């Protein structure tokens, strides 16, 4: 049976709540309404109002309460209705949760779920990919699954982790991506990339929804005799440098692809690691395909022009393959 991305995340959360009575949920409209995207649908009926808590509209309070609860031995899963709104909880996350392990070796086993990304015509306040804010903050783990299987395995791993995890779920994938997932209890390790597609001529390093854009392009160029290898990072922090470098050393050409805007995006960090540690293997420049440095447009035609897509990536792949 095929399971959608949103169903996989829901299954993972509910399984962890069943397994561990210390796991509880909090966020805006997550209980009675089942969440803005219905990720937590059915949780209130199954586990009751003590473990599925509808909160006021205050992201700072949601994360602050989650941190306090984690100090008391609980494992909160906090939902930001949209990843953009996480900025209201920025101080709690980067100046408190991220620092507790360093300051007094205190675990902060919280998960902050952040529905992210464009493609749903949400405009500039409901469509951002803001993972780079948190990848730059030591003490946080940053997770961005691209597939239903990984989404379930990673949300379970995140809930079991003793450090704060920012869990980015791409909204455009919720009901678009479906696949068979393994039966029974399983996790996907945080900090380990996956080879989404094996290739020989050129590496695409990417994550989240852009994995599927890369796969689309790989099918097109395969008919032209170009073999793409796709590295799905799955997590940015910890960063699986070894898998990326191994792929680059094999293909000698690489494109870094992400939906977030270019300047200060995590792609720049990936490019730097490659040029520092695999420069002698490169047969061409390391390229980036990203969104431009503007807010996300609301207009559907402008949003389409803004987002990285198959046509934009295809042009770069063909250019670099011929370099």
Q: Which residues are catalytic?
A: 126
Residue whose structure tokens are 């962890």: 16
* SS3 of residue 277 by DSSP: helix
Q: CA 236 to CA 130: how far, in whole Å? A: 12
Beta pairing class for 52-54 and 287-291:
unpaired
DSSP state of 92: I
Counting Cβ atoms within 10 Å, is residue 255 exposed (0-12), middle (13-18) or buried (19+)?
Answer: buried
Do 70 and 107 touch, CB atoms closer than 8 A?
yes
> Phi and psi of 162, rounded to 5°?
-90, 5
* Contacts (Cβ under 8 Å, ≥6 apart) of 159: 12, 13, 16, 20, 23, 75, 77, 109, 111
């Amino acid at each position: 049976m095929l399971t959608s991305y949103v169903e996989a995340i829901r299954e993972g959360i509910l399984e962890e709540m069943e397994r561990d009575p210390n796991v509880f949920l909090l966020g805006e409209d997550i209980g009675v309404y089942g969440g803005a995207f219905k990720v937590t649908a059915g949780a209130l009926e199954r586990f009751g109002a003590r473990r599925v808590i509808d909160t006021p509209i205050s992201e700072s309070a949601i994360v602050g309460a989650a941190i306090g609860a984690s100090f008391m031995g609980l494992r909160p899963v906090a939902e930001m209705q949209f990843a953009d709104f996480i900025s209201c909880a920025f101080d709690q996350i980067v100046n408190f949760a991220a620092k507790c392990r360093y300051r007094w070796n205190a675990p902060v086993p919280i998960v902050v779920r952040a529905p992210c990304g464009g493609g749903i015509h949400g405009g500039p306040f409901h469509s951002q990919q803001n993972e780079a804010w948190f990848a730059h903050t030591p003490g946080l783990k940053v997770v961005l699954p691209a597939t239903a299987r990984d989404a379930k395995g990673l949300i379970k791993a995140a809930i079991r982790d003793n450090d704060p995890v920012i869990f980015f779920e791409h909204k455009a994938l919720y009901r678009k991506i479906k696949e068979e997932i393994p039966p029974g209890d399983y996790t996907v390790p945080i900090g380990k990339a996956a080879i989404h597609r094996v290739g020989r001529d050129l590496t695409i390093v990417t994550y989240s929804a852009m994995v599927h854009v890369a796969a689309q392009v790989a099918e097109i160029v395969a008919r032209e005799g170009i073999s793409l290898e796709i590295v799905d990072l799955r997590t940015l922090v910890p960063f699986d440098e070894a898998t990326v470098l191994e792929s680059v050393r094999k293909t000698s050409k690489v494109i870094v692809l992400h939906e977030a805007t270019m300047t200060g995006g995590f792609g720049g960090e990936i490019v730097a690691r490659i040029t520092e540690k695999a420069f002698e293997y490169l047969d061409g420049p390391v390229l980036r395909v990203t969104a431009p440095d503007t807010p996300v447009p609301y207009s559907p035609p402008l949003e389409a022009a803004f987002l990285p897509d198959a046509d934009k990536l295809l042009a770069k792949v063909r250019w670099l393959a011929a370099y």
